[in-house]
Structure 1
Amino acid sequence: MGQLKDFQLRRLEEHKYSCASSSLMDPMMQKWWCWLVEQCPLTLAPNLITISGLLVNIATSLLLVYYSPDAKQEVPRWACFLCALGLFLYQSLDAIDGKQARRTGTSSPLGELFDHGCDSLSTVFVSLGVACSVRLGTHPYWMFFQCMMAVTLFYCAHWQTYVSGTLRFGFIDVTEAQFGVIAIHLLSVIFGPSFWSLKGTSVLSPVVPLLFILVPSVLIAWKSPYDIYLQNPTIYLLTFGCVSARVTNRLVVAHMTKSEMAYSDASLLGPALLFLNQYVNCPINENYLLYIVCIYVIYDLIKYCQEVCLEICHHLNISLFTIVPKRPASSTSSAAFEKNGSSKYMTRSKAKVKSN
């Protein structure tokens, strides 16, 4: 028995592609894509364009995996450049396959399925490539989160399409994310993969958590269908302010303990939940969810501060809010101290007289 039933094949014939995009960079890239598709011969099949771009992307990503199989070693700069170039080629070919189909009159549901199937596989290799480029394997759990979040967001985008019938691209979406990854690879080319070191030697380590707060706070407020910020300005600012305070406290701890500043932070789950809810067309009312997230980040901040303070108090044997009176020194020890102290100073005085 085949994978598709007869009724599925019949309904596939009725399928019409529907897409809505407000992407920031797509309009800028249209001239390049339109010029590129004109260079393709009319005999070139659109699906062949798609699979060619995917193979280039996979090959260049596997090159980084070859040099850094656990994403901990530094990869050659030229390999990062090839990976950036491979992703750009994939993006360009992926953008023109539909144009080639319309140009040659060969548009079909198979082309759409083939395109999205290749995209789903490409997402995996793009995630692995960028992890190797920045040596994210030094933080294996963060690497896991990054890769799984990428494929989850891709799934959610098509879940939204399944429910609404229209594939929607936001202001900051696939094209922008791909250019962001290309920029990361190019920075590795220019400064070397050690530029992204997470072991306290890179000044970028504290910057990344801040970006994880600042960028979502702007995007969530901007794209909210409920005007989440305008409706709840104090709660919104309190929520992201507490997240910022939590991350700042970790930065202070990292400075005082001369340790690394980790990228991941439990408080970032709050903004991530708001962002994910908005990404799938807000199945949960944003205003209610904001209050839940606000309570969570306040609790998380208090819990973190309490645990840090108690651990330091225990280690230094001090009290947090009270002063423990010191025991008075015994007369014997005082006399011994005075004797040792006086003889010490007498010795110094005698040595000084002799030297004079």
Structure 2
Amino acid sequence: MPILAYKEQRILSPQQLRKLSEHKYSCFSASLLDPLLQPWWNWLVSQTPLWLAPNLITIVGLILNIVTTLILICYSPNGVEPPPRWTCFLCALGLFVYQSLDSIDGKQARRTNTSSPLGELFDHGCDSISTIFVALSACISCQLGHYPNWLFFQCFCAIALFYCAHWQTYVSGTMRFGRIDVTEAQFSIIAIHLVSAVLGPEIWLTKMPYLECETRCLPFYMASGVDFSLALRYSKSILNEGCGKNGSSVAGTSVLSPSIPLTLVVLPALMIAQKSPENIFTEHASVFILAFGMVAAKITNKLVIAHMTKAEMEYLDWSLLGPALLFLNQYFNCIVPEIWLLWFTLAWGTQDLLRYCAQVCLEICQHLRIDLFRIPYGPKVLNTSSVGSQSNVGADKNGGTSHRKSKSKAH
């Protein structure tokens, strides 16, 4: 597909749009914290104006989370320098606000009868981007840049596990949350930021009594244990819970097929980081993680769409251009400075992700006759029993709804 024709090319076929209209959100949650946080989420959504669109709530939280993390990155781009305490507090606040808003968007959709498949897609799309910034901010707060291999492992583990969560959804048809999952991870990272804010980031450099390791190793050893258990759970689900014919995915494809796009992101990232003559990962850790994170977010969004439309997932993607150029540049002994190509990878991946998401949202809005950031009718209509009886809602992990809505009640 020519690059210049990207904007004009429709991403979703008529069959995919039809399947999308028929999609029903399926979720199971055994989270420890979700039930405890329900009163807070219920109170928060009750204070939210009815005119505020659910997707607008989600995007506001994401922007705040990104901005607070970028401030932290500015003071410690490689995770080596101790960031100011106030930047750690800002990250904790930004993540808490994002987590709260992300938890009430489904509830707001139910209140306003604006549920649609677009809401579910938009929510997961924002989460795919947030995951990168949240993982990176936690590593910087602990100054994990002193251990580049640990920094790489933790950040790419978060990216890969988020992808695997949607991989098992693509296979089984149901999004599953364990007892220790997303919510627990988010509040653990909030706690890390608060410790850095109150006691100073230097606290993570102190030696733990009776143990020959620094304090910062403790949360990441625990995180590694959780990562391992999640990986086992996802692997079991992927290999044994295919809901399609003969144990295949929802699209009737091989349950292992989504492994290819993930491998095309993680494996080149590892090879480029390890073989770089300019130590590109060590010297530019934040740029490196953000660059490959945007590529990972793009393939994750494509996986979510493949699940919701019951379609086969494409393996190759234009977002892989940046990693491919970095790899080829190393193969030919770095004829171009690596940092130039790394910044290109970040810029190209970011614009490609934004253009793709914008195009998909536009196509879905046109098909369902809905608006992305606006509720197209007044509160009086929202309270009528006729609209409420037509709504097609299903409980999400937060006790709210996935944002599903039929064309018949779009206006």
Give the TM-score of the pair, scaled to structure 2: 0.53
SS of alignment partner, residue 13 of structure 1? helix
**Which of 80, 93, 117 is the aligned partner of 1:85?**
93
> What are the Cα deviations for residues 137-189 of structure 1, in whole angstroms up to 9, with x where unaligned?
11111101100000111011111111111111100010000000000001101
Rg bigger for which structure? Answer: 1
| CA displacement at 1:277 relative to structure 2 | 2.1
| CA displacement at 1:201 relative to structure 2 | 4.8
> What are the Cα deviations for residues 250-269 of structure 1, in whole angstroms up to 9, with x where unaligned?
xxxxxxxxxxxxxxxxxxxx
> Which residues in structure 2 correspond to 1:70-219 (within 5 Å)?
70-197=78-205, 201=207, 205=213
**Which of 55, 60, 69 is the aligned partner of 1:47?**
55
2:12 — aligned with what? 4
Q: 1:57 touches 1:122 (CA, 8 Å); kept in 2?
A: yes
Structure 2: how far apart are the matches of 1:23 and 1:17?
18
Structure 2: how far apart are the matches of 1:211 and 1:72?
17
Structure 2: how far apart are the matches of 1:169 and 1:15?
20
Structure 2: how far apart are the matches of 1:130 and 1:211?
10
CA 1:280–1:65: 2 relative to 1, 3 Å: same
CA 1:186–1:45: 2 relative to 1, 3 Å: same
Structure 2: how far apart are the matches of 1:144 and 1:47?
32
Q: 2:32 touches 2:180 (CA, 8 Å); kept in 1?
A: yes
What's the Cα RMSD here? Answer: 2.3
| CA displacement at 1:279 relative to structure 2 | 3.0
Q: How many residue pairs align between the two structures?
A: 230
Structure 1: how far apart are the matches of 2:220 and 2:141?
19
* Aligned residue identity for 1:14: E
**Which of 21, 24, 37 is the aligned partner of 1:13?**
21
> Which residues in structure 2 correspond to 1:150-299 (within 5 Å)?
150-197=158-205, 201=207, 205=213, 272=228, 275-281=230-236
* Aligned residue identity for 1:168: R
Structure 1: how far apart are the matches of 2:38 and 2:81?
38
* Aligned residue identity for 2:233: Q
Percent identity over paired residues: 60
SS of alignment partner, residue 50 of structure 2? coil
Higher RCO (CA < 8 A, seq sep 6+): 2
1:38 — aligned with what? 46
Structure 1: how far apart are the matches of 2:129 and 2:202?
28
SS of alignment partner, residue 22 of structure 2? coil
> What are the Cα deviations for residues 174-208 of structure 1, in whole angstroms up to 9, with x where unaligned?
000000000000110121111112xx756583567
* Aligned residue identity for 2:232: N
Structure 1: how far apart are the matches of 2:173 and 2:93?
33
Structure 1: how far apart are the matches of 2:66 and 2:155?
15
| CA displacement at 1:281 relative to structure 2 | 2.8
| CA displacement at 1:283 relative to structure 2 | 5.3
Q: 1:157 touches 1:280 (CA, 8 Å); kept in 2?
A: no
Structure 1: how far apart are the matches of 2:218 and 2:239?
26
2:68 — aligned with what? 60
Structure 1: how far apart are the matches of 2:89 and 2:151?
21
Question: Which one has a larger percent helix, Structure 1 or Structure 2?
Answer: 1
Give the TM-score of the pair, scaled to structure 1: 0.61
Q: 1:61 touches 1:126 (CA, 8 Å); kept in 2?
A: yes
CA 1:69–1:120: 2 relative to 1, 3 Å: same
Q: 2:204 touches 2:215 (CA, 8 Å); kept in 1?
A: no
SS of alignment partner, residue 2 of structure 1? coil
SS of alignment partner, residue 20 of structure 1? strand
SS of alignment partner, residue 171 of structure 1? coil
1:29 partnered with 2:37: yes
Structure 2: how far apart are the matches of 1:195 and 1:213?
17
